[in-house]
């Protein structure tokens, strides 16, 4: 049996669909029939060549795509349950981190798996050798042995759950690293997919007020519908005014936590001045090497401020993401995050839509053809 995969041959060129043999799972491994794979901002940056996946160990051609959900096609010997102890069967819908830590390298041993020196990750493998299906823009995806995975509750549609394993888990983990607790104030810079998920996560964690900034009105309107207390269109106000607006709603102090999901390095300078003395700045959005910004370190010193860089997440964040989606099901307009879906054969059109930012999230629906 063969399956299709969209290959990135070279940045900025159309991806090419090729067929590869569907592998049998090794003991402990799982083969997933991908049903949905969203186009995340980092896929777009990788396709455009700004985010160099080769720097993480990838070679070209590669299969991009990592924000996905699917059904179990085949369970390797010994795989009986998911990571929460629920029994697993062929056909079950599951989500999983798009990466896996080895658990025994120096960084894992020191208790910091995010620095795993043997990290396994979607998009980095070579599709021309076993197990072939190494990225989400494909009919199948291969989970190597001892991979974390969770069964998806039947109440959650693919539309809603497909953003769980990247965007939603990432921001939940970001706030957990900065220690967000109820009643604390939050600034979110950027109201794309990550920003809206950050808003939902912060709200569920009890944050208030939550201020969201963006340059695109439809996104700010969505932020309102997801419960933002204040939205700020950055084209309508200069930086000093924006900082004043944030201070005004936080008793002149600034917020407890600011998170950058805009990907614009200059956001850091602005965001840091919106953070209160002793507060935290969480940097998630900037993934393009070499894009720099000038900051004055003395501001950090005198303000006792902490900057936290966050890449990847620990698997507990994905478990929490599923709980959050289940609890808010029907109360928040998650469906409106996904506006355009495309079959795999139209992956290039889907990328164009994602680039044009017409949709907050374009998605590849592997069941469409």
Q: Is 40 in the site for Zn ion (CB under 5 A)?
A: yes
- Residue 70 vs 254, nearer CB to Zn ion: 70
Interatomic CA distance for residues 135 and 131, integer angstroms: 11
Residue span binding Zn ion (CB under 5 A) among the ranges 27-35, 37-45, 173-181, 291-299: 37-45
Give residues 213-272 in contact with Zn ion (rule: CB under 5 A). Answer: none
The single residue among 37, 53, 94, 108 that binds Zn ion, judged by CB under 5 A, is 108
Residue span binding Zn ion (CB under 5 A) among the ranges 46-54, 118-126, 149-157, 285-293: 118-126
Residue span binding Zn ion (CB under 5 A) among the ranges 163-171, 214-222, 299-307, 343-351: 163-171
- Residue 97 vs 131, nearer CB to Zn ion: 97
Residue span binding Zn ion (CB under 5 A) among the ranges 137-145, 162-170, 239-247, 259-267: 162-170
Residue span binding Zn ion (CB under 5 A) among the ranges 1-9, 94-102, 216-224, 264-272: 94-102
Let me know: does 87 contact 94? Beta carbons within 8 Å: no
The single residue among 17, 105, 230, 287 that binds Zn ion, judged by CB under 5 A, is 105
- Residue 256 vs 260, nearer CB to Zn ion: 260
Instruction: Tell me the three-class secondary structure of the chain, residue by residue.
Output: CEEEEEEECCCCCCCEEEEEECCCCCCCCEEEEEEEEECCHHHHHHHHCCCCHHHHCCCCCECCCCEEEEEEEEECCCCCECCCCCECCCCCEEECCCEECCCCCHHHHCCCHHHCCCCEECCCCCCCCCCCCCCCCECEEEECCCCCCEECCCCCCHHHHCCHHHHHHHHHHHHHHHCCCCCCCEEEECCCHHHHHHHHHHHHCCCCCEEEEECCHHHHHHHHHCCCCEEEECCCCCHHHHHHHHHHCCCCCCEEEEEECCCCCHHHHHHHHHEEEEEEEEECCCCCCCCCCCCCHHHHHHHCCEEEECCCCCCHHHHHHHHHHHHHCCCCCHHHHEEEEECHHHHHHHHHHHHHCCCCEEEEECCCC
- Residue 116 vs 220, nearer CB to Zn ion: 116
The single residue among 15, 75, 152, 166 that binds Zn ion, judged by CB under 5 A, is 166
- Residue 162 vs 250, nearer CB to Zn ion: 162
Q: How many residues does the chain have?
A: 369
- Residue 95 vs 116, nearer CB to Zn ion: 116
- Residue 37 vs 149, nearer CB to Zn ion: 37
The single residue among 17, 74, 88, 102 that binds Zn ion, judged by CB under 5 A, is 102
Q: Is 114 in the site for Zn ion (CB under 5 A)?
A: no
In the complex, minimum distance from the CB of residue 105 to Zn ion, in angstroms, rounded to a whole number: 3
Q: Is 171 in the site for Zn ion (CB under 5 A)?
A: no
The single residue among 6, 22, 29, 116 that binds Zn ion, judged by CB under 5 A, is 116
In the complex, minimum distance from the CB of residue 199 to Zn ion, in angstroms, rounded to a whole number: 17
CA-angle at 338, arms to 335 and 344, nearest 5°: 130
Let me know: does 280 contact 304? Beta carbons within 8 Å: no
CA-to-CA dists, residue 71 to 68, 95, 149, 278, angstroms:
11, 9, 11, 45
Q: What binding mask, one character per residue, do residues 41-80 give for Zn ion by CB under 5 A, x or -?
A: -x--------------------------------------
In the complex, minimum distance from the CB of residue 171 to Zn ion, in angstroms, rounded to a whole number: 11
Name the site residues for Zn ion (rule: CB under 5 A). Answer: 40, 42, 101-102, 105, 108, 116, 118, 166
């Amino acid at each position: 049996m063969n399956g299709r995969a969209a290959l990135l041959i070279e940045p900025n060129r159309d991806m090419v669909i090729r067929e590869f043999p569907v592998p049998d799972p090794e003991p402990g491994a799982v083969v997933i029939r991908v049903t949905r794979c969203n186009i995340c901002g980092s896929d777009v940056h990788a396709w455009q060549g700004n985010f160099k996946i080769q720097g993480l160990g990838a070679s070209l051609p590669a299969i991009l795509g990592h924000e996905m959900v699917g059904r179990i096609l085949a369970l390797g010997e010994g795989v009986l349950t998911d990571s929460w102890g629920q029994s697993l069967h062929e056909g079950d819908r599951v989500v999983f981190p798009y990466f896996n830590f080895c658990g025994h390298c120096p960084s894992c041993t020191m208790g910091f798996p995010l620095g795993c020196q043997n990290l396994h990750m979607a998009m980095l493998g070579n599709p021309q050798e076993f197990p072939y299906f190494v990225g989400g823009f494909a009919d199948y995806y291969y989970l190597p042995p001892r991979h974390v995975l969770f069964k998806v509750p039947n109440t959650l549609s693919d539309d809603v759950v497909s953003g769980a394993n990247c965007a939603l888990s990432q921001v939940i983990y970001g706030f957990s690293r900065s220690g967000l607790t109820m009643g604390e104030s939050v600034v979110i810079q950027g109201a794309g997919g990550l920003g809206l998920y950050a808003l939902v996560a912060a709200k569920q964690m009890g944050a208030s007020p939550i201020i969201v900034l963006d340059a695109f009105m439809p996104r700010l309107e969505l932020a309102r519908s997801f419960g933002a207390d204040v939205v700020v269109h950055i084209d309508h106000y200069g930086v000093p005014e924006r900082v004043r607006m944030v201070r005004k709603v936080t008793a002149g102090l600034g917020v407890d936590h600011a998170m950058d999901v805009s990907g614009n390095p200059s956001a850091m300078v602005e965001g840091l001045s919106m953070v209160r003395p002793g507060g935290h700045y969480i940097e998630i959005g900037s993934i393009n090497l070499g894009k720099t910004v000038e900051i004055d370190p003395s501001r950090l010193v005198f303000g006792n401020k902490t900057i936290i860089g966050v890449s990847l997440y620990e698997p507990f964040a994905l478990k929490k993401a599923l709980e959050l989606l289940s609890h808010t099901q029907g109360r928040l307009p998650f469906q409106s995050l996904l506006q355009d879906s495309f079959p795999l054969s139209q992956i290039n059109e889907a990328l164009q839509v994602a680039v044009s930012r017409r949709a907050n999230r374009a998605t590849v629906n592997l069941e469409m053809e």
